[in-house]
Structure 1
Amino acid sequence: MVLGKEIRLGRILTNGKMLCIPLDHGISSGPIAGIKNIANLIDQTQDSGLTCFLVNKGIIKALPTPPRIGIIAHMSAATSLGPDPNNKILMGSVKEAIRLGADGVSLHINIGSKEEPKMLFKLGQVADECNEWNIPLIAMMYPRGENIKNPHDPSIVAHAARIGAEAGADIVKTVYTGDPNSFREVVKSCPVPIVIAGGPKSNTDSEILQMCRDAMNAGAIGVTFGRNIFQHKRPNEIIKALHSIIFEKFYNERSKLGKNKKKSE
């Protein structure tokens, strides 16, 4: 018997792998470069190899036409203007995500923040609702806050990822530790699939692609890259290159992005 969660996972994954562009930055950072017109960005990139995109609920309502790829509704937020940007509060519900036509729900949890207990409580609640309604939950588990000295420490990243899995997430998104050997241990210790965040905008295409390649070799099922795609000078080309790494297991940088290594913009 095929359950609704499996059907929805099939809309945000392809062959069990993910290439997602998160576009939830508008609440936290405002209409920054690359996402000033999200509808145009989605329309122009959705056929380049993405399996899904991630947006805040209001953006789903504002889209002029139904997208052709999977939709993840992001349901937690905080702003850079507020008293505590690390305190992500719940801004929607699983039922609302379903009404909007989303294929999955995501929450952002900052492990090590002083508000961590409240965020974990909400994560547990939403996980229960996702199970009730058979919709996938993607938990963004970031080591970030007052108690985190090194957010890329493999033991801390592994702990954060494991928390997401044990709280009920179907997929955990977390930071890359910086090398495939240590990240392989993170993947091994997490009982649900892991995808990596892109982090700050990289200086070169080779940095972006190598991080993707190393994470995949370590056992990740994909990437969720935001600024490294939507602020890239040629978003479609970097998506195609990432798709080759994730789905085709080979990548010819010379043929995909030009003869010389170019800076991403």
Structure 2
Amino acid sequence: MVLGKEIRLNRILKKGKMLCIPLDHGISSGPLRGIQNISELINQTQDSGLTCFLVNKGIIKSLPAPPRIGLIAHMSAATSLGPDPNNKILMGSVKEAIRLGADAVSLHINIGSKEEPSMLYKLGQVSDQCNEWNIPLIAMMYPRGDNITNPHDPTIVAHTARIGAEAGADIVKTVYTGDVDSFREVIKSCPVPIVIAGGPKANTDHEILQMCNDAMKAGAIGVTFGRNIFQHDNPNEIIKALHAIIIENKHYGRNKSKKSGRK
């Protein structure tokens, strides 16, 4: 018997792998270059190899047409203008995400921040709602806050990812540690699949593709890259290259340093 969660997971994954473009930056950072017109960006890139995209609920309502790829509704936010950008508050419900047609929901949790207890409480609540309604939960688990001196420390990243799994997430998104061996240990210690965040803008396409290749080699099921896709001079080109690594299992590895296209 196929359950609703499996059907929905199948919509945001391809061959069990994820290539997602998160576009939730409008609340935290404003209309950044590349996402001034999200609907146009989605329409232009959704047939290039993405398995899904992630947006805030208001953007779903503004889409001019149903998307042809998986849709993740992001449910937490904070702004760079507020008193504590690391304090992500809940801005929606699982029922609302279902009403809007989302295939999954996501929540951002900053481990090590002052507001960590409140965010973990919300994660537990949303996890329970997702189980009730059979909708996948993607937990964005970041080591970020006053108690984190090195957010790429493998021990801290492993702990952070494990928290997301223990709280009930179906997929955990976290930062890449920087090397295959240490990230493989993060993967081994997390009982649910992991995808990596893109982090700050890369200087070259080589950096983007090498990080993706190494994360997949370590055992990740994919990536969620925002700026490194939507601020690229040719988003479709970089998506196709990522698709080859993630979905087609093609190896990437070279020494030349081609400049990454940027707007």
TM-score (norm 2): 0.97
Q: Greater CA deviation, 245-254 or 211-220? A: 245-254
Q: 1:209 Cα deviation (Å)?
A: 0.1
Matched, 1:246 2:246: yes
Structure 2 residue runs without a partner (length 5+): none
Q: 2:261 aligns with which of 256, 259, 264?
A: 264
| SS of the residue 1:248 aligns to | coil
RMSD of aligned Cα (Å): 1.3
Does the CA-based 8 Å contact 1:56-1:75 persist in structure 2?
A: yes
Aligned mates of 2:258, 2:13 — CA distance in 1: 30
Q: 1:249 Cα deviation (Å)?
A: 1.8
| SS of the residue 2:6 aligns to | helix
Partner of 1:177: 177
Opposite residue 84 of structure 1, the aligned amino acid is D
Partner of 1:54: 54
Aligned mates of 1:146, 1:210 — CA distance in 2: 30
Partner of 1:34: 34
Aligned mates of 2:119, 2:225 — CA distance in 1: 23
| SS of the residue 1:6 aligns to | helix
Structure 1 residue runs without a partner (length 5+): none
Q: Deviations over 1:112-158 (max 9, x none)?
A: 00000000000000000000000000000000001000000000000
Partner of 1:82: 82
Partner of 2:138: 138
Aligned mates of 1:197, 1:215 — CA distance in 2: 10
Matched, 1:126 2:116: no
Partner of 1:97: 97
Percent of paired sites with the same residue = 84
Q: Deviations over 1:27-78 (max 9, x none)?
A: 0000010000000000000000000000000000000000000000000000
Opposite residue 164 of structure 1, the aligned amino acid is G
Does the CA-based 8 Å contact 1:241-1:251 persist in structure 2?
A: no
Aligned mates of 1:186, 1:153 — CA distance in 2: 10
Aligned mates of 1:29, 1:20 — CA distance in 2: 19
* Large movers: runs of 4+ above 3 Å: 251-254
Aligned mates of 2:83, 2:98 — CA distance in 1: 31
Opposite residue 170 of structure 1, the aligned amino acid is D
Does the CA-based 8 Å contact 1:123-1:167 persist in structure 2?
A: yes
Aligned length: 261
Aligned mates of 1:207, 1:128 — CA distance in 2: 38
Aligned mates of 1:134, 1:72 — CA distance in 2: 14
Does the CA-based 8 Å contact 1:202-1:264 persist in structure 2?
A: no
Does the CA-based 8 Å contact 1:94-1:129 persist in structure 2?
A: yes
Partner of 1:206: 206
Q: 1:264 Cα deviation (Å)?
A: 2.7
| SS of the residue 2:72 aligns to | strand
Aligned mates of 1:252, 1:89 — CA distance in 2: 38
Q: Deviations over 1:161-211 (max 9, x none)?
A: 000000000000000000010000000000000000000010000000000
Partner of 1:4: 4
Partner of 1:149: 149
| SS of the residue 1:81 aligns to | coil
Does the CA-based 8 Å contact 2:209-2:252 persist in structure 1?
A: no
Q: 1:260 Cα deviation (Å)?
A: 7.7
Opposite residue 121 of structure 1, the aligned amino acid is Y
Does the CA-based 8 Å contact 2:203-2:259 persist in structure 1?
A: no
Q: Deviations over 1:198-250 (max 9, x none)?
A: 00010000000000000000000000000000000000000000000011122
TM-score (norm 1): 0.97
Aligned mates of 2:191, 2:94 — CA distance in 1: 23
Aligned mates of 1:253, 1:229 — CA distance in 2: 19
